Chains A and B, each alone.
Chain A
Amino acid sequence: MRFGGLVAVNDLAFQASDREITAIIGPNGAGKTTVFNCLTGFYKPTVGRLTLRRDGTEFYLEQMDGFRIAREAGVARTFQNIRLFPRMSVLENLMVAQHNTLMRASGFSLAGLLGLPRYTRAEREALDLARFWLDRVNLTDRADWDAGNLPYGAQRRLEIARAMCTRPVLLCLDEPAAGLNARESYELNELLIDIRDRIGIGVLLIEHDMSVVMQISDHVIVLDYGRKISDGDPETVRNDPAVIRAYLGTEEEEELPEEVAEDLPPEMVRALRSFEDRPHEEDGH
């Protein structure tokens, strides 16, 4: 994915499966949210293909309109800075998520206006689904609150509940644990594991909170400067030197990169390289 002269995501290939929690991690600016934006139709990748396979059908996400990706392919998403409908109630937020189902049942509002049974039935079912998720995220006793009046942690949970009300096959979460305390992170872990096991969909998440990533992910992908530098299960990735280098930096960081060495006069390169061999403190890790 290229923005003018800047390549934000370079030659990235990975796979996220259902019944799996896949985490994308990496330092800030690595291109993680860009990947999400490409997946959910906010950016059109300059080059590449994003395929979603569902019940035998293939959806090419890079060619689809944002709202169609949600409606037809079944990809739901939450945002780094929460995007709720603040002046609508919690329950209404969950009802809006079921817009497409209800629109079909209301016959483009005609059946709804006339109060036909097929619409009232659909509305009842929608309320049931909303009630299920309200229970699941402990917001039942605040269902009539304006969404904007909820405390931060509750707003995050509501956003996830709302995304689940669209009945997706892939749930994309952009930093769901940001700003959560230890107990809330623990509850988030439980919620995501429940979604993976009981509902059985795929979860793709961007996260910086390593306790969440390491504890619940089945599969971790590490990005740095737009490239994939590691791909595997949490244990492998945790011990991968490339990953450690990207996050923490080691002696190797002080090595003169080839591209720079090519441009410098040889005497200078020799002097710089001899500098590297001096004794220095161990990093404590």
Chain B
Amino acid sequence: MSARAGSPDFPGILRDSGLVALVALFLAFPLVGFHTIDQGGGAGMGIETRFPWVVVAVAAAFVGRFLQLALLRTHAPVAVERSLSRLGEVFQRNTVWIAAAAITFAIVLPMLPFADRRLVDLATLVLTYVMLGWGLNIVVGLAGLLDLGYVAFYAVGAYSFALFALHFDFTFWMALPIAGLFAAAFGVLLGFPVLRLRGDYLAIVTLGFGEIIRIILLNWYPVTRGPNGISDIPRPSFFGLEFTRRPAEGEVAFHEFFGLEYSGLHRIVFLYYLILALALITNLFTLRIRRLPIGRAWEALREDEIACRTLGINPTNTKLSAFAIGAMFGGFAGSFFAARQGFISPESFTFVESALILAVVVLGGMGSQVGVVIAAIILVGLPEWFRDLQEYRMLVFGGAMVAIMVWRPRGLIAHRDPTVRLGVPQRPEPSA
């Protein structure tokens, strides 16, 4: 197919689209054409055919490819790319305003007229992943250490709270710092063996560590109750006020104190504000620590470890501190998770979780705080919201990932703000 200006090469485009349609046929025939159903009444599984859908898929592929190639001749794609970049620039310049608007929106969300239990629940889930993303951002985005086992610290936080509640009657607030401490300790434990590793090797070992934790949780029955998990985890209270219909002896319930009708929604909203607070603290901490020498050392380590050594920076301690502090926030999120669910089991802490959190960080643009929020909404919020789409939600998920990789491979917001400015008028910098 020639790429010259002038009228498009229709025979070539048709040929190409035909080929694409053929590939689509090969894929759609088994994947879309056949559909397993439960035949009910003990008859087991059966197969039904959906050939009209195969025709739709092939036609869509053909038309889509045709349009894509035909439009390549026009300025449309370039214009789209340019406007996307301009949008990105506007976004980057007004980060503070956008962040303020987002936080305000998050605070008033439960009070909005269309906010029902489902929305607040979803928002809580998204915020949990936002906090995990911000925590992992310290390790991956700032220090450049590719950690594929972050779920391990999430699990350690959750199980620390659950076990302390079970054996020592700790409340959520008492267990929160303990969960962070334990997770940080595991962060250091993970950090030691991986100090000399780079890139892929570091990723594999951290992945292994995540799996080790999960398998220990699954098999160490006497301590972790294995696959049965730990239940009856106490819910957090609001300054001692419980969120139950009938409070325990001598305790005052939340609705009684404020003179309201009991509603399950109270606890849901309280959990929402709790995770919002935890996430914002994580974010504030990250913003602050980037300006401190340890934060700059993390970023310098990511840029060039050898140069760091010549400046007197101890790479070992710097890496360990990144692991420990990143893990600590994972631990906090973990104890929140346990408190929200009331029940935890090793099933919630699989590798897929680590991958999802890493995807949130990478997609958002490593090191970008706002990017993590957007990525969490796209990767966690949308699939949950569109649960009704069932099998197609994974398709949409995959499609979104492909789109991001094609148009914004460096992540949605791959911009870095310097932590300190000289305050002297500057020469205009060549744009990258």
- A70 and B310 contact, CB distance less than 8 A: yes
Q: Please determine whether A66 and B309 come into contact, CB atoms closer than 8 angstroms.
A: yes
Q: Determine whether the beta carbon of B426 is less than 8 Å from that of A141.
A: yes
A217 → chain B closest CB, angstroms: 23
A63 at interface (Cβ–Cβ under 8 A)?
Answer: no
* B308 contact set on A, CB distance < 8 A: 67, 96
A85-B299 contact, Cβ under 8 Å, with A77-B310, A106-B293: yes
Contact of A131 among B292, B421, B422, B426 (CB under 8 A): B422
Which among B312-320, B339-347, B369-377 touches the partner chain? B312-320
Contact present for B314 and A67 (CB under 8 Å) = yes
Interface stretch (choices B115-123, B390-398, B412-420) = B412-420
Q: Which of B348-393 contact A (CB under 8 A)?
A: none
Residues B296 and A96 in contact, CB atoms below 8 Å apart: yes
CB distance from A225 to the nearest CB of B (A): 27
**Interface residue B430 (Cβ < 8 Å from any Cβ of A):** yes
Interface status of B277 (Cβ within 8 A of chain A): no
Report the count of interface residues on A (CB-CB < 8 A).
Answer: 47
Task: Say whether A268 faces chain B, with CB atoms less than 8 Å apart.
Answer: no
Q: Mark A42-59, 1 if CB is under 8 A from B, else 0.
A: 100000000000000000
Is the Cβ of A109 less than 8 Å from the Cβ of B289? yes
Distance, CA A77 to CA B307, complexed state (A): 9
B424 in contact (CB, < 8 A): yes
Q: Total A-B residue pairs with C-beta atoms closer than 8 Å?
A: 129
Q: How far is the CB of B296 from chain A (nearest CB, A)?
A: 5
Partner of B420, one of A68, A95, A134: A95
B296 to chain A: closest residue by CB: A96
Check A76–B310 contact: CB distance below 8 A. yes
Option from B309, B312, B418, B430 in Cβ contact (under 8 Å) with A144: B418
* CB-CB contacts below 8 Å: B40-67 with A: none
Query: How far, in Å, is A271 (CB) from chain B's closest CB?
Result: 53
A162 is an interface residue with CB less than 8 A from chain B: yes
- Determine which residue in B297, B311, B421 has the highest number of CB atoms from chain A within 10 A of its CB, and name it: B311
Flag whether B300 is at the interface (Cβ < 8 A): yes
* A109 and B418 within 8 A (CB): no
Residue ranges of B at the interface with A (Cβ–Cβ < 8 Å): 288-289, 292-294, 296-297, 299-300, 303-304, 306-315, 416, 418-422, 424-427, 429-430, 432
Pick 6 A–B contacts, CB within 8 A, sort by A. Answer: A66-B310, A88-B296, A89-B421, A96-B297, A145-B429, A149-B429
The 6 closest A-B pairs by CB, nearest first: A71-B312, A70-B312, A85-B303, A143-B422, A89-B418, A102-B293
